[in-house]
Structure 1
Amino acid sequence: MKAILHSGDFPVQNRKIIIGGSKSESNRLLILKSLFLNIRIKSLSESDDTRVLEKSLKTLKGTVNIHHAGTAMRFLTAYYASMEGAEITLKGSQRMHERPIGILVEALRNLGADIEYLENEGFPPLKITGKKLTVDEVTIPADVSSQYISALMLIAPKLPNGLKIYLDGDTVSEAYIQMTLSLLRRIGVKASLNNNQITISPVEKVEEVEIAVESDWSSASYFYSLVALSENLKITLSHFSKDSLQGDSFLPEIYKVFGVQTDFNTAENSINLYKQEVILPNRVTLDLSNTPDLAQTIAVTCFGMGIACNLTGLQTLKIKETDRLSALKKELSKLGAVITIDDNSLQLERSSGILPNPSIETYEDHRMAMAFAPLAVKTDLIIEDAQVVSKSYPEFWKDLKMTGINCDLKDLSK
């Protein structure tokens, strides 16, 4: 399916959009709910990744295919390894079998887990035989993926002796580790992070609790970009709060530099976005170590506004749904961008204009599709493989239309 996008009239009246629940919160809570039955979840994400994880948690024997769901692969590897009696072959898409998981598997093996590689060493698919894991200490590199660490943290309270996790090296995406800590504490688990040491106490059962999932800040980023690129668009997004657990809730601070003002409406649990006149910088420099999922959106915003940028802390992007740095370079270059990348950074020079009518490849990556879509404010464009957004935001194209973008979805299978 292709999305053919044309800029609309963008009337000044406010557009109200309800974004679905956070995928990151939902997936963590699903693992915890499977371990502690007294947890109830409200406003669960409707993303493909969350649906796949929810379905997979009902299986303890046989083959589980998580397709493109990277979080599910990491979390389920730890979950099944700790479930006595589980006998699982865990596999995914071809790209998933190219995404490393050796760091997590080694850590779990050090805890006593029984995990075998079925094809290539260090990569899925995996054969997992669940065991009682009694070792209570493990060291894991912290500079590759926070999901490996969160996977261990989520099973820790159900281990008979709890778990101490020693983080080796500089921690990437620490905000997601803090999210996991906060959710553990919310259900009554003693959990702390001090001096690169995470300590989680064992818990037999937790008190009954209902947790409402906040809307997804990563998904909100595309509307921040849209407001930044427009002249007078106003958007209200629900349900967001200042006390968010999500690292991407730093968006309001980041987008101030682009002239996007965020007003929090506490009574209605929403945010109002609108454009303010500001002096735009020639170049923006940001360390996105804690918010790497925003890199594509910010790079596209900068390009569309004619602002240069230096983005660092992007080392995790090479092992995502695609090599996001290479994909960004290729697709932005189609539009006339001058861009250079290395293993953990991106440098974009100021653009003098946008080459017309580009066709943007998405590389089976939902964020490529959604990050480029706001450029429709500046030029007509085509987004290839548009249905890929269902991975995290199934209603994206419908919500984009509500902002005034003309969006024509063409089903190429017919």
Structure 2
Amino acid sequence: MHFTLQKSKIAKQSSVEITGSKSESNRLLLLQALYPEFKLENVSNSDDSNLMTNALSSQSEVIDIHHAGTAMRFLTAYFSIQEGRDTILTGSKRMKERPIKILVEALQELGADISYEENEGFPPIKIKGKKLNKNKVSLKANVSSQYISALLLIASKLENGLELTLEGEITSIPYIKMTLSLLDEIGIESSFEGNTITVKPNTKKLNAKTLTVESDWSSASYYFSIAALSDVGTEITLSSYKENSLQGDSALVEIYKHFGVSTVFNENALTLKKETSNLELLTLDLKNAPDIAQTIAVTCFALGMSCDLVGLHTLKIKETDRLVALKTEIEKLGGKVEITDKSLHLSTSIDVKSMVSITTYNDHRMAMAFAPLALKTSIIIEDAMVVSKSYPTFWEDLKSIGFQISK
């Protein structure tokens, strides 16, 4: 289904409630499956988290997680320790092209029984659950943090815990720290010193408690972009957010100062305000927050700013090759983009073409990152409901603040 976004002007003051973080929800859902004694509130209503919930409660041998990369990685680790249970994890055509070999080999090193059903190194995979008693494994430090988090999430259930050594420069540190903070919050002991992460085994019942999932900062990024493209004085209030967030994408607060957007925290809400504009070349290393690269690139394009974005090596293995997708779609709109396998350079554009149809490539972030452009020109978003992967109410929330959207 394609949506047409007419050139819009948003309300001077507006507020939006955003669902719980997909990243936090999926980690906590897996931990809750291992330790049912704690409860969760404000769990993400995203497709990915619903798929995670269903997979963890499913008794079926074949589990299809569609496009959900986080679920594929976390569940690979989870089912490898479900003693006596055989599981086949599969997914969409794109999922079968997304590598899983690094995680599978790490789990095999710990003693897991995992084999490939089709192509070596890629889903679908067959997992024979068993007790894992080895406790030492090494991974290259620049791999997707989801591989690392997958191992850390099951570590306390391994007979001897886990000692994980990361080789080289570590990327996506905030996501690793998020996982360790959540382990700490439920009572699992861990340490992160130098390049070694240790998680102690846990055999005791944990204290029952209720954890509230913080709202998703990646979802907030689109409102930062909207604020940046709005008139001076525009305010948007978002809830529920913490000033000392575990989420790497909370870097938005500092990054969007470049676009003249200030952020004020008040209890569990944050208010974005458009102050001024600064159109100088923007250079950012996004290795700790790659999921907001698309939002930032589109913001720069819409404001006629040049930017150099680096640290983007993980974008090639996401829902689509996001670097190629960004280049293709921004150039359709009249921009000029150069990419390498880990960076993007956007040259200053003079004007933005109208009524261009944006292809979304089964990627929720492509749809949402380009939506704020409607404050500058009318656009069409193809396969618009792809947003349900992480933010099902996105279009309704945009309408509520003044966007004109039709099917």
Aligned partner letter, 2:216: D
Task: For residues 297-317 of structure 1, give each alpha carbon's deviation from its aligned partner in whole angstroms, at most 9, with x where no partner exists.
Answer: 000000000100000000000
Mapping of residues 173-322 of structure 1, within 5 Å: 173-204=172-203, 205-232=205-232, 233-266=234-267, 269-278=268-277, 280-322=278-320
Aligned partner letter, 1:282: E
Q: What runs of 5+ residues in structure 2 fail to find an aligned partner?
A: none
**Counterpart contact for 1:7–1:404, Cα < 8 Å:** no
For the residue of structure 2 that corresponds to 1:140, the secondary structure is strand
Aligned partner letter, 1:337: G
Displacement of 1:61? 4.7
Displacement of 1:186? 0.4
Tell me, in whole angstroms, the C-alpha distance in 2 between the residues paired with 1:142 and 1:107: 13
For the residue of structure 2 that corresponds to 1:149, the secondary structure is helix
Work out whether 1:135 is the aligned partner of 2:140: no
Aligned partner letter, 2:139: I
Tell me the residue number matched to 1:332: 330
**Counterpart contact for 2:334–2:352, Cα < 8 Å:** yes
**Counterpart contact for 1:60–1:86, Cα < 8 Å:** no
The 1:109/1:60 distance shift into structure 2, 3 A limit, reads farther
Tell me, in whole angstroms, the C-alpha distance in 1 between the residues paired with 2:332 and 2:60: 47
Mapping of residues 71-90 of structure 1, within 5 Å: 71-90=70-89
Displacement of 1:277? 1.9
**Counterpart contact for 1:222–1:297, Cα < 8 Å:** yes
- TM-score, normalisation: structure 1: 0.97
Aligned partner letter, 1:222: Y
Mapping of residues 58-73 of structure 1, within 5 Å: 58-73=57-72
Displacement of 1:403? 1.8
Mapping of residues 359-374 of structure 1, within 5 Å: 359-374=357-372
Task: For residues 48-74 of structure 1, give each alpha carbon's deviation from its aligned partner in whole angstroms, at most 9, with x where no partner exists.
Answer: 000001000013551000000000000
Tell me, in whole angstroms, the C-alpha distance in 2 between the residues paired with 1:172 and 1:123: 22
Tell me, in whole angstroms, the C-alpha distance in 1 between the residues paired with 2:221 and 2:123: 31
Tell me, in whole angstroms, the C-alpha distance in 1 between the residues paired with 2:345 and 2:334: 14
Work out whether 1:396 is the aligned partner of 2:377: no
For the residue of structure 1 that corresponds to 2:156, the secondary structure is helix
Aligned partner letter, 2:247: Q
Tell me, in whole angstroms, the C-alpha distance in 1 between the residues paired with 2:260 and 2:133: 53
When the two chains are superposed, the root-mean-square deviation of aligned CA atoms in Å is 0.9
Tell me, in whole angstroms, the C-alpha distance in 1 between the residues paired with 2:331 and 2:9: 28
**Counterpart contact for 2:259–2:276, Cα < 8 Å:** no
Tell me, in whole angstroms, the C-alpha distance in 2 between the residues paired with 1:406 and 1:375: 12
Aligned partner letter, 1:365: D
Tell me, in whole angstroms, the C-alpha distance in 1 between the residues paired with 2:150 and 2:325: 28
Displacement of 1:120? 0.6
Tell me the residue number matched to 1:109: 108
**Counterpart contact for 1:60–1:87, Cα < 8 Å:** no
**Counterpart contact for 1:153–1:200, Cα < 8 Å:** yes
Total equivalences in the alignment: 405
For the residue of structure 1 that corresponds to 2:259, the secondary structure is coil
Displacement of 1:192? 1.2
Displacement of 1:281? 3.6
Larger deviation, residues 57-66 vs 150-159: 57-66
Tell me the residue number matched to 1:30: 29
For the residue of structure 1 that corresponds to 2:350, the secondary structure is coil
**Counterpart contact for 2:279–2:304, Cα < 8 Å:** no
Mapping of residues 368-387 of structure 1, within 5 Å: 368-387=366-385
Q: Which runs of 4+ in 1 moved over 3 A?
A: none
The 1:114/1:102 distance shift into structure 2, 3 A limit, reads same
Aligned partner letter, 1:385: D
**Counterpart contact for 2:9–2:375, Cα < 8 Å:** no
Larger deviation, residues 241-250 vs 319-328: 241-250
- TM-score, normalisation: structure 2: 0.98
Displacement of 1:169? 1.8
Displacement of 1:402? 1.5
**Counterpart contact for 1:61–1:87, Cα < 8 Å:** no
The 1:42/1:277 distance shift into structure 2, 3 A limit, reads same
Task: For residues 226-284 of structure 1, give each alpha carbon's deviation from its aligned partner in whole angstroms, at most 9, with x where no partner exists.
Answer: 01011143211010110211010111100001001111112xx1011111024x14200
**Counterpart contact for 1:146–1:171, Cα < 8 Å:** no
Aligned partner letter, 2:252: L
Aligned partner letter, 2:260: G
